[in-house]
Structure 1
Amino acid sequence: MPVEPLSQKEIEDRLAELPGWAVEDGRLTRSYRLATHFAATAMVIHIAQVQDELDHHSDLTLGYNTVSLSVHTHSAGGAVTEKDFELAHRVTALAPGHGAE
């Protein structure tokens, strides 16, 4: 089943449920700061596991003590879809366990 792009209103409504997330350059984005490089690395591994479970992958960037995500749906022409928000919700749920802010 094809994934449909979300309307601007649908995106705004979903963003209201995800503090810290934004749409930049047509992609759903978020950055987290963590206490240490090791903590950031552990969070990246956890996100990678979730992405494999969802079969939906973001651009995932590891900094010294930061983790950044940027995602859109290739099969929807690079638009933001419900799949992107599903990933964002999963990442938002796991972030506190890593001490991410």
Structure 2
Amino acid sequence: MPPEPLSAHDIETGLRDLPGWRLEGDRITRTYRLPSHFAAAAMTVHVARIQDELDHHSDLTLGYDTVRLAVNSHDAGGKVTGKDLALARRVEAVAAGHGAQ
């Protein structure tokens, strides 16, 4: 059974505990700045592993010293679900360890 899309209120409430994350259209997004390209690449690999563990994948973009995520749930019609907030929480948990701001 596909996950249920969250209401705007539920998304807003979920984002309160995720600094830097915001709703853009039908996705939640976050851009992290890192101290170097190598740190950004390492974080990208770490996030990719988390996504594989959760079997839930974002659009993940590596820049020179940035990592950007944009995520929604395709199996919920491209809307934000609890799976997206769970992924964001997991990424937040590891970001500081990579020097991300």
Q: Find the aligned partners of 2:95 and 2:16 in 1 and give their Cα distance.
A: 18
Runs of 4 or more, structure 1, over 3 Å off, are none
Answer yes or no: is 1:56 the counterpart of 2:61.
no
Gap runs ≥5 in structure 1: none
Gap runs ≥5 in structure 2: none
TM-score (norm: length of structure 1): 0.98
The offset of 1:81, in angstroms, is 0.2
**Aligned Cα RMSD in Å?**
0.5
Identity within the alignment, % = 63
Q: Find the aligned partners of 1:71 and 1:36 in 2 and give their Cα distance.
A: 24
> Residues 61-89 of structure 1: CA distance to partner in whole angstroms, max 9, x if unpaired?
00000000000000000000000000000
Q: Find the aligned partners of 1:48 and 1:29 in 2 and give their Cα distance.
A: 16
Q: Find the aligned partners of 2:25 and 2:64 in 1 and give their Cα distance.
A: 24
1:82-101 map, 5 Å: 82-101=82-101
TM-score (norm: length of structure 2): 0.98
Residue 14 of structure 1: SS of its match in structure 2?
A: helix
Answer yes or no: is 1:42 the counterpart of 2:39.
no
AA of the residue aligned to 1:87: L
Deviates more, 1:1-10 or 1:54-63: 1-10
Q: Find the aligned partners of 1:96 and 1:2 in 2 and give their Cα distance.
A: 32
Q: Find the aligned partners of 2:63 and 2:39 in 1 and give their Cα distance.
A: 11
The offset of 1:2, in angstroms, is 2.0
